[in-house]
């Protein structure tokens, strides 16, 4: 099973402020432990929303709006992709993340092609 752990923006991440070196070091050790255990597929931080865009699809047209997205209350600062045997295993790993201060990480299972109904798999050629 694969899971995405979504890290919310905060602590100045939208202003481009980086966490203190101690947190970077702790995160490096945490990521290294997950990599050594074979569960870490990806770990990435995201640039502030000011460097992004939102593309809206409606009525056959697209509209592009450049960031920042100041009206958004829940922006993403980074994520992990974990390959584990269960949600419980993913949670066990994330309990060890070096966060504090009320950070709340969201964990979501990545839907695999085999999880979809046969008619959907057939429609996409699988």
Tens of pLDDT, residue by residue over 69-80, are 988 788 999 999
Query: Is residue 82 over pLDDT 80?
Result: yes
DSSP structural state of residue 26: H
Helix (H, G, I), strand (E, B) or coil at 109: strand
CA distances from 101 to 51, 72, 104 (A): 26, 21, 9
17 neighbors 100 (Cβ within 8 angstroms): no
Q: What is the pTM of this model?
A: 0.86
Neighbours of 119 (CB within 10 A): 7
| Degrees to nearest 5, angle at CA 45 with 8 and 56 | 70
User: 2-123 in CATH: which number?
Assistant: 3.30.70.1060
């Amino acid at each position: 099973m694969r899971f995405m752990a979504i890290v919310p923006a905060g602590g100045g991440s939208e202003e481009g402020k980086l966490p203190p070196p101690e947190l970077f070091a702790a995160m490096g050790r945490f990521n290294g432990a997950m990599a050594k255990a074979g569960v870490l597929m990806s770990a990435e931080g995201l640039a502030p929303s000011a460097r992004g865009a939102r593309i809206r699809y409606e009525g056959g047209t697209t509209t592009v709006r450049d960031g920042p997205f100041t009206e958004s209350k829940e922006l993403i600062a980074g994520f992990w992709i974990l390959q584990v045997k269960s949600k419980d295993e993913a949670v066990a790993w994330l309990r060890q993340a070096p966060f504090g201060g009320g950070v709340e990480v969201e964990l979501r299972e990545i839907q695999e092609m085999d999880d979809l109904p046969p008619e959907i798999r057939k429609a996409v050629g699988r």
